[in-house]
Amino acid sequence: MKGWRAGVASAAFGIAVWQGLVWATGLPKFILPPPALVFETIWASRALLAEHAVITMSEVLIGLLLGAVLGGLSAIGLAASPMARALVRPMLLFSQSIPVFALAPILTLWLGFGLGSKIAMALIIIYFPVTSSFFDALMRTNPDWLGQARIMGATPARIMWHIRIPSALPGFASGLRLAAVYAPIGAIIGEWVGSSKGLGYLMLLANGRAKTDLMFAALIVLAILTILLHAAVNKFCEKTLDRTAM
């Protein structure tokens, strides 16, 4: 409850600052719409916003699921194989040096204007945080536990499954929490480059028609959905870690 109260208080403070900027600057509505107009637009365009939000969140959730699975498997493979660490880790680091915006047109060209390119963008942008967080946790397993398991004759596979992975789950959970925030960024970038649906597309459409209030409305809906997704992932991670600790 305290978290929700702090969130509501923070949102109220942000809205107050927003309204204060409108009053202080005197900017016209098509440049900086007041909060009341934006919330009115959210209500008046709720069906339109919901239609595009469903598309964006579908891209985000599928990308998040695929990114979590692939990131987790990659981290386990890297932790288990020195050769994989020598060959694959430099490639992962190199992939992060390429701006995500530069990949969006290529993915759109390869996968088309549908969901595929947006899911791929979401997957790419969250894959590295999940892999990196989980891998680091796997490599920091208590050496005393590993030594005792080897003395007892445990195979590397059993050590990985019964010791290293359970002890590294907090790291995996941290990666998932970051992924829940990053995933919408990838989906929106993909929609900006080429799409006919989604909140990113709606923002571009509203901007082209000088409907700044609708653009702000889509942005706020996206922010709220991202916060809810992060809260849901955080709750899932907490329950999973509690069950593992029992």
- Per-residue confidence (pLDDT) for residue 217, from 0 to 100: 96
What is the pTM for the complete model shown? 0.89
Report the first-to-last Cα separation within the chain, whole angstroms.
Answer: 25
70-118 residue pLDDT tens: 999 999 999 999 898 888 888 887 877 788 778 888 888 888 888 888 9
The DSSP call for residue 187 is H
106-134 residue pLDDT tens: 888 888 888 888 999 999 888 988 999 99
Largest CA-CA distance found in the chain, in angstroms, rounded: 74
Q: Which residues of 120-139 are buried (b: 16+ CB within 10 A; e: fewer)?
A: bbbbbbbbbbbbbbbbebbe
Distance, CA of 80 to CA of 156 (rounded, Å): 8
Q: Which amino acid does the sequence have at 17?
A: V
Q: Is 39 strand, coil or helix? A: helix
pLDDT above 70 coverage of the chain, percent: 98
Which is the CATH superfamily of the domain at 33-245?
Answer: MetI-like (1.10.3720.10)
**Structural domain spans, the chain:** 1-32, 33-245
- Per-residue confidence (pLDDT) for residue 100, from 0 to 100: 77
- Per-residue confidence (pLDDT) for residue 2, from 0 to 100: 59
